[in-house]
Structure 1
Amino acid sequence: MFKDRTEAGRLLAERLKKYRNDPGIVLAVPRGGVPLAYFVAKELGYPIELILTKKIGHPTNKEYAIGAANLSDYFIIHPGAVSEDYIQQELFVIRTRLKEMYKKFMGNKTPENIAGKTVIIIDDGMATGNTMLGTLNLIRQGQPGKIIIGVPVSSKEAVEMLSKEVNEVVVLLSPEAFYGVGAFYEDFKQISDEEVIFYLSQLQKPS
């Protein structure tokens, strides 16, 4: 059990500091992953950016991920399961939201080139791992040198699945009985836009 995302972020940063000498970048899953990613990036001396991907939900159950999309590409886990028209409609909606998010949180900053770098993806937890799996397929297109996933808590199934896809999954807690990410935090309140902007701006200030 973690007190809050701040405590979890500090603990995760301690486990990830072995990557300090790599050329790298921390990618935060908004919004919940941002406070944790801040502490990891600060510890490693890495720049921080948001992962601007969203899951593509199934037409009958939007929470069930059938793929993921970013501003330039998309990935479907089971092609043919849904119509191309549905996918294109979802892509339009998702990319409109992602453009708004990028402008709000990153302004006019040009995205970092991740080619050859150690990319550390941070979220506040993983349940099924399906959304992360779709995200990985998009990140790989940037040709990073290594991909590391760092989360405080995850289901064993998600860790097992994703360990086959990346260089390392760093997880602090992987309980036998998994009741959802929020069950392992005393304080799991939603992260506001203002908090996201605050954490991102802290690492952009000269020290």
Structure 2
Amino acid sequence: MAGHKPEFHDRREAGRRLAIVLAPLAGAHPLVLALPRGGVPVAFEVAKALDAELDLLFVRKIGAPGYEELGIGAVVDGAEPQLVLNEDIVRQLAPSPDYIRAEMRRQLAEIERRRSSYVGGRVPVEVTGRTVIVIDDGIATGGTVKAALKGLRKNRPARLVLGIPVAPSDSIAEISPECDDIVCLAQPDPFYAVGTHYAVFDQTTDEEVVRLVREATPFGHSHGSPGRPIAMRGEGVRPQDKEETMLITHDTTILVVDGGHVQVFRNRGTDAAPELELLHEQAMKNPPSRAMATDAPGRSFGSAAPTRSAYADADYHQRWQDRFGQEALRAVASLGRQDRPLIVIAPPRMLGVLRGDLDPKMQNHILAEIAKDFAQRGDGDILALLQSHQV
């Protein structure tokens, strides 16, 4: 292609440029997931800049019976692996449930083999309640990335973000419903292929993946990993000390919040007989409405500027709710309770917002987080929820 100037020198440079745009997410202590192998050097630079945990995300295609090149779905790696099926193709071909189960087992075994070769016995990091950033070196058709996002969404991350150096605009538009935000640095037209937008696009070797994952081991731990969910798989509670117990001690603060309603309670009872006292209650004033057109997705995919990111145009309704989450934390502080034991009850996405805004003093006093939407429930329901998680 005469006169074509590559957008990036190599994957590492693309990762450093991507990290600049993703920097606002650093406060949420995100988990960065790299799609091997090409996505790993990009993701390494993002995780390094954001001081975020880095893990690998494997996706394996499930082929149709007798036509393995035709994908009917995919298996997505993780602490809780997920099966993602192309419902249209499955309806047409009607593969038996036994076939799908057998293929899923086979692909999971291959994922386990590949994961072991890269990271040894390290188990996948749980994504529930986390801000998760999925990284690859680029997108052509987007099939693998789309399956990865669909699978991750089933495990209920607080926020799911896709970070991509380069991709065609039509692929970005097709993928956008599968995540909360997309950062794409360049959307050239015509697109040609991912490799044409890098001056150096050598194959990423297994040895490089192993080395980068090993070098990234300290990332995300300098702040005590408050972004790691304090939750047992599938339900939502694990105390900070990782024992499967939680005591609602006397004078514990209980913060219950969603995107538009906050309640602050204290336990005026004892450990054995807790009794909740409502200290503060607040509802969002003048919430965004359809009439204001503030609940429509704010992503912008057609910008001519190569560094325009969808994250910069994040949905206004979500930003409004994020500010309300900050108000909830200020309410706790205004009551002089920032140094009391704290239990937070909020939907998964709001938990991620709150984690990013907690000051160190409050972080150190968190007893537990519960990923539930209880913000407009009575104190009896909230107490029952808390007691159901005690041993």
TM-score normalised by length of structure 1: 0.91
Query: Does the residue aligned with 2:23 lie in a helix, a strand or coil?
Result: helix
2:85 alignment partner, one of 68, 76, 80? 76
Partner of 1:183: 196
Partner of 2:209: 196
Over the matched positions of the two proteins, sequence identity in percent amounts to: 35
CA distance in 1, matches of 2:168, 2:63: 21
CA distance in 1, matches of 2:99, 2:197: 36
The CA deviation string for residues 44-90 of structure 1, in whole angstroms up to 9 with x for no partner, is: 1110000022233455462x543210353311113223323653454
CA distance in 2, matches of 1:65, 1:179: 23
Structure with the bigger RCO (C-alpha within 8 Å, sep 6+) is 1
Cα–Cα, structure 1 residues 65 and 8, in superposed 2: closer, same or farther, change >3 Å?
A: farther
2:110 alignment partner, one of 97, 109, 129? 97
Partner of 1:19: 25
Q: Mapping of 1:23-38 within 5 angstroms?
A: 23-38=29-44
Partner of 2:133: 120
Q: Is the Cα–Cα contact under 8 Å of residues 32 and 52 in structure 2 kept in the other structure?
A: yes
Query: Does the residue aligned with 1:112 lie in a helix, a strand or coil?
Result: coil
More deviation, 24-33/102-111: 102-111
2:169 is matched by which residue type in structure 1?
Answer: K
The offset of 1:205, in angstroms, is 4.6
Q: Is the Cα–Cα contact under 8 Å of residues 150 and 178 in structure 2 kept in the other structure?
A: no
Partner of 2:15: 9
CA distance in 2, matches of 1:81, 1:131: 21
Gaps of 5+ in 2: 1-5, 223-391
Q: Is the Cα–Cα contact under 8 Å of residues 133 and 162 in structure 1 kept in the other structure?
A: yes
Gaps of 5+ in 1: none
The CA deviation string for residues 158-177 of structure 1, in whole angstroms up to 9 with x for no partner, is: 11112222111100110121
2:162 alignment partner, one of 146, 149, 163? 149
CA distance in 1, matches of 2:27, 2:82: 31
1:66 is matched by which residue type in structure 2?
Answer: I
The CA deviation string for residues 15-58 of structure 1, in whole angstroms up to 9 with x for no partner, is: 11110100310000000000000000011111000002223345
1:136 aligns with 2:142: no
The offset of 1:92, in angstroms, is 3.8
Query: Does the residue aligned with 1:75 lie in a helix, a strand or coil?
Result: strand
CA distance in 2, matches of 1:101, 1:68: 16
CA distance in 2, matches of 1:195, 1:89: 32
What is the number of residues matched between the two proteins? Answer: 206
More deviation, 144-153/127-136: 127-136
Query: Does the residue aligned with 1:81 lie in a helix, a strand or coil?
Result: helix
CA distance in 2, matches of 1:88, 1:132: 22
Q: Is the Cα–Cα contact under 8 Å of residues 77 and 134 in structure 1 kept in the other structure?
A: no
More deviation, 157-166/23-32: 157-166
TM-score normalised by length of structure 2: 0.50
CA RMSD between the two structures? 2.0
Query: Does the residue aligned with 2:92 lie in a helix, a strand or coil?
Result: coil
CA distance in 2, matches of 1:169, 1:65: 25
Partner of 2:48: 42
CA distance in 2, matches of 1:81, 1:100: 32
